[in-house]
Structure 1
Amino acid sequence: MFDNQEELKAHIEHVKRCLLFYALNAEELLKQGYPRRELERLIDIQLDKLIVLLKKLKG
């Protein structure tokens, strides 16, 4: 899936930034009518991705 360690690390950082975005903006997203369950689902997906990527990095 990833050509090298740097690409894998870059993808890990991207997932971390996505999680940070959701964490920092959750209240605002909910105020604007974004469904709580959908937000939780998106966070769960990112967390699952992060776990898989970190396992790959660890080898």
Structure 2
Amino acid sequence: MNRNLIEGTAKELKGSVKEAIGKVTGNRAKQAEGAAEKVAGRMQARIGEETDEVREHVKS
């Protein structure tokens, strides 16, 4: 595991919480902010996964 994977997963979770809070409170701005943060976190985590795969491929 690397830093991007960990930070991306945390950011994705934080975005999910913000999005849910936005839905519950009816705050569309908070909901959109959470959705955007969730996507950014998912992308960062994916970069971390790919980095790990490349690292494993280089080792073998």
Q: Which runs of 5+ in 1 are unaligned?
A: 1-7
Higher radius of gyration, 1 or 2? 2
Code of the residue aligned with 2:53 in structure 1: it is K
Q: Which runs of 5+ in 2 are unaligned?
A: 55-60
Structure richer in helix, relative to its length: 2
User: Which residue of the other structure, out of 24, 27, 33, is the alignment partner of 2:27?
Assistant: 33
For CA contacts below 8 A with separation 6 or more, give which structure has more relative contact order: 1
User: What fraction of aligned residue pairs are identical, expressed as a percent?
Assistant: 4
If the length of structure 1 is used for normalisation, what is the TM-score?
A: 0.58
Alpha-carbon RMSD across the aligned residues, in angstroms, is 2.3
User: Whole-Å Cα distance in 1 between the matches of residues 14 and 33 of structure 2?
Assistant: 15
How many residues were matched structurally? Answer: 51
If the length of structure 2 is used for normalisation, what is the TM-score?
A: 0.57
